[in-house]
Chain A
Amino acid sequence: MKEGRGQRGSTLGWVVITMMVLLIFLMAALTVTSSVVVRNQKNHQKTQAELTVNSLAQAFVKDINKRDGIRQVMERAVLEGVDAIALEGMDSDMGEVSLHISYEQEAQRLYILITAALGGVREQMTVVVKCRIEDDVEEAAYRTNGEKQEAVWEVLDFQEEEERLR
């Protein structure tokens, strides 16, 4: 059988092969694009979760010595033996935020593990605070220059990922 240009249907064959190759390239391009878009989405969630955790830790540190607010929440949680707190009221696109706390009475250390979960992403940070939490609030207060003051809480450390509380 003679091969070549004059063979019946050969043009159609070449056209079909060309189209198939084009389609394979197109499918590859669509797959790559789709994975880039999904990765971008994940990265955005990770960035937002990181920002939520970091900004929450900073706000926590700034407010730690205010009379009410987060300090009161922490004191009550320790005294009532609560070790997991879900913070509600945050925008849904900031992720779900929870605090896991652990207090070492003798060392006077409060470990707060802040977790933000957004989509399939989880970001965590631990804040270590030196503080004294006691049943009797009067016990926790002390006198300076004749005036009664709230015991000062001191932030000792920020740690990303704290294994001991997991």
Chain B
Amino acid sequence: MKNRHGGFTLVEVAVAGTVLMLLTLAAAQGFLICNSLMNRSSRFQRQEQELKLHAVREEMPEDSRKVKLSAGSLGQWSVIIDTYEMDDGEVKVSLKALRALSNEE
């Protein structure tokens, strides 16, 4: 069955329409992914800045553990590694800092 004006069959129009719709959906999905990634990136940056401040001010870390750093045959040095973490469900940021042992530790 030929269309009198465009010269396409109904099947051709249906296939072209479906392909067009799928391409449009894929493009929309692509833009949504870009948008979501940009949002996550900006949240990541904000959280990272906040965590850096926590670490610099030596605020209470999420985790602390004592480690022995080895300098080979020259000896060892005991320090604390503090882990600062921030997790809002979607974006998780973590920074680590060294700290000298206090007398109690």
Interface residues of A (CB under 8 A from B): 6, 8-9, 11-12, 15, 19, 22-23, 26, 29-30, 32-33, 36-37, 40, 43-44, 47-48, 51-52, 54-56, 58-60, 62-63, 68-70, 72-73, 76-77, 80, 82, 85-91, 93-94, 99
Contacts and interface: CB of A to CB of B under 8 A. Distances in A.
A91 B56 CA distance: 19
A80 B75 CA distance: 13
Contact of B34 (A29, A80, A91): A29
A69 B98 CA distance: 14
Given A11-B6, A30-B30, A88-B69, A59 B79 contact: yes
Contact of B96 (A37, A68, A69, A94): A94
A62 B101 CA distance: 9
Contacts of A9: 6-7
A77 B74 contact: yes
> Is chain A's interface secondary structure helix, strand, loop, or mixed overall?
helix
Contact of B70 (A19, A77, A88): A88
B98 A55 contact: yes
A19 B95 CA distance: 44
A22 B26 CA distance: 11
B72 interface: yes
B26 to A, nearest CB: 9
